[in-house]
Chain A
Amino acid sequence: DIQLTQSPSTLSASVGDRVTLTCRASQSISNWLAWYQQKPGKAPKLLIYKASNLENGVPSRFSGSGSGTEFTLTISSLQPDDFATYYCQEYDSYSSFGQGTKLEIK
């Protein structure tokens, strides 16, 4: 099974900050990686697919990069609506998720 490890588990930041979240895979998954945003009590929302492709309707301040085993999600200038939990997902085999990074207001 492919394991995904996200870091940090929690990140404190301020509106306007640039932040980078990391996801590491236990083996190479090429670019078969997605990023999701989840708010309490809601379903996850797809942000990035195939490591670096922005889903329709997602603000351009979100960007993804990486391949193989190392991936990042960057938010260029944090907005109040961005404080949430972020998950990476691999779909090289069937699928698995990372444990999440909670982005909280400093």
Chain B
Amino acid sequence: EVQLVQSGPEVKKPGESLKISCKGSGYSFTHYWVAWVRQMPGKGLEWMGIIYPDDSDTRYSPSFQGHVTMSADMSITTAYLQWSSLKASDTAMYFCARPSSGHSASYDLWGQGTLVTVSS
């Protein structure tokens, strides 16, 4: 089955670090980009950036550049999104998604989402 499976919910304190994951299976993981999308509570979808697992070519939205880091490990077909110092405003659901071809395409495959809660 073609799928993206994300890591479980996280509860963190401000200032802590975090790395969430998105594991692809059932398709050639290294040959598809992986995008990350944020959804804050009760709000819309925000495009964060995208990574190509084969060579780790990465593009960030200006809104997220410098605040998060995207990475990938081809050997375990997993993409990651990480923070070095969380803020309360990072509380959100985070989705990974796969463009159908190239980096500019519709997203035909989505992970189930990882809920990140940052609270003191």
A-side residues, CB < 8 A to B, are 1, 32, 34, 36, 38, 42-46, 49-50, 55, 87, 89, 91-100
B-side residues, CB < 8 A to A, are 35, 37, 44-47, 49-50, 59, 61-62, 95, 97, 99-100, 103-108, 110-113
When A97-B44, A100-B44 are in contact, do A91 and B108 touch as well, CB less than 8 Å? no
Instruction: Specify the chain B residue showing the minimal Cβ separation from A96.
Output: B47
Instruction: Specify the chain A residue showing the minimal Cβ separation from B63.
Output: A1
Say whether B44 contacts A98, CB under 8 Å.
yes
> Which one of B44, B95, B99, B111 lies within 8 Å of A91 (CB-CB)?
B99
Say whether A44 contacts B106, CB under 8 Å.
no
Residues on B with beta carbons closer than 8 Å to the beta carbon of A49: 100, 105-106, 108
Residues on B with beta carbons closer than 8 Å to the beta carbon of A97: 37, 44-47
Residues on B with beta carbons closer than 8 Å to the beta carbon of A95: 35, 47, 50, 104
Nearest Cβ in chain A — how far from B54, in angstroms?
A: 18
Nearest Cβ in chain A — how far from B37, in angstroms?
A: 8
Say whether B44 contacts A50, CB under 8 Å.
no
11 contacts between A and B (CB under 8 A): A34-B106, A43-B111, A55-B106, A89-B47, A91-B104, A91-B106, A95-B47, A95-B50, A99-B44, A100-B44, A100-B45
